[in-house]
Structure 1
Amino acid sequence: MIAQGAGFPMDISGAEKLRTLVAVTQGCLITSQALSNLFKQSKHLRLLDLSLTSGWHNCFGPSGQGNILDEIPVEIGGLINLRYLSLAGSKVLKILPETLCDLHNLQSLDLTGCSSLRKLPDGMGKLMNLRYFYTWFCSSITSYPKGISCLTSLRELTNVIARADHNDAKEFTLGDFEKLNNLCGHVRVKLVGNAIDADEAIRASLWNKKDLDRIRINLDGDIGKESQDVIKKALNPPSDLNIEFVGWWF
């Protein structure tokens, strides 16, 4: 356990044998150099939790004291055995290195409360084993990368921004739900663009999402002028898939 206000250790005894590391702390200063040292030594890590641990609600609340983590070093790409990674509550973290997408065995990525995170790595499509992807309260992200459409193992996707007016080459679009047939529970989707493209709505293939119970849709920009009935008709969801339109997004 690391005391509040203390720094993350520059060296951890036995780091080369570590399989699990959970930083039990509030407000710990985690430097890029300390993480770089850790990643170089701990090649066998399977679980790495650098999140706030005092309660999930503090990850995004105004009084929350998330870990002070503003940079993830490129060396994280060497943790090829990593299955679980949580950076939840890292409020000042703005970017993630592309090398994060070299974690081909990663199954769970939690970015909850990373409210300053501006974008996700372009190479997200390489995380082929990713099953759980959490981006609650990542309010600075304005688009999601196209590669998410390749993550066919995904079971939980909390939030996603989808362009609805055309099939974009770089951004995740409505039609990119096409192959995400293992999604379970519910997902929040912000639809952006000028209108809803009928071909994109059809390509989304919502009728194949057998385990998806509910989609909550937020309309952003000009697409908000479309009637909800028109959008729902275009999506043509199965009768057991509940479509809700909401006025908030996080």
Structure 2
Amino acid sequence: MKKQIILLLFLVLAAVGLDYETQAYTYGSMSGTSYGIVGLAALLALLYIIPALLTIRYLGRKWQTPPQSLAIALLGGLFIAGWTSGLANTYIHEWVSANFPNTLISDLENALAAPLVEEPLKLLAVGFALYLAPVKQFKSILLVGITAGMGFQISEDFSYILSDLPQGFSYTISGILGRITGGIASHWLYTGLTALGLALMLRYAKTQKTYFRAGLFYFLAAFVLHFLWNSPLTAIETDIPIITPAMTALAVYLFYQACRTIRKMERDEWEGEH
């Protein structure tokens, strides 16, 4: 009975999100030109969305991850984490603007609010997936986190398309192209790290402290990476791009180390059995 209630809650939240995320397109309030710009931007976004989803599907089969778990994670990222974090970020912005205008807090608002709001809500999508369609392997948990993060990433991309529309064609297209290049190490990576890190902490809290500390490191690293990406550091301009490429490289490196941790755990488990 409890599982059925959780499933119903998931479906209600996702249904609200579906309506919330699509109302700008379905209410007929945009001009024909705006619909054309959105369509072109969406086609550009598909250049990374389709390969990403195909890769997730391939890894799901290879790692024997239930497709139901991946589907729930994707839908949760798209239609639950997206709209809930959007509302939360809006309320936080209004509160900061009213109480801390022109202060360090207002300068760091996006860097502070985004990880503290978005990472837990993306983990909510992961939680729905793991509860409704459980997985046991850590690499499957990592993949579920990646999938939830990808769903959120897609949702956020389309919200940026809408917010960029008033600035015109060039601004909207350049914006989605920037989102595509920035997506190399974005929400899919952060949520993969938080999901894996939390799973390691819960599994090894009372046994292997080495893996517990690794889990804590990956969990916190996702928040730090998200903070850095939203911080004023990315606004620093140099003749040769340095800041954002360095952040991307660091994120990919930490993700690589997380994958190495999983492989080491599998090797240790295999050696223990033999």
Q: TM-score, normalised by structure 2?
A: 0.22
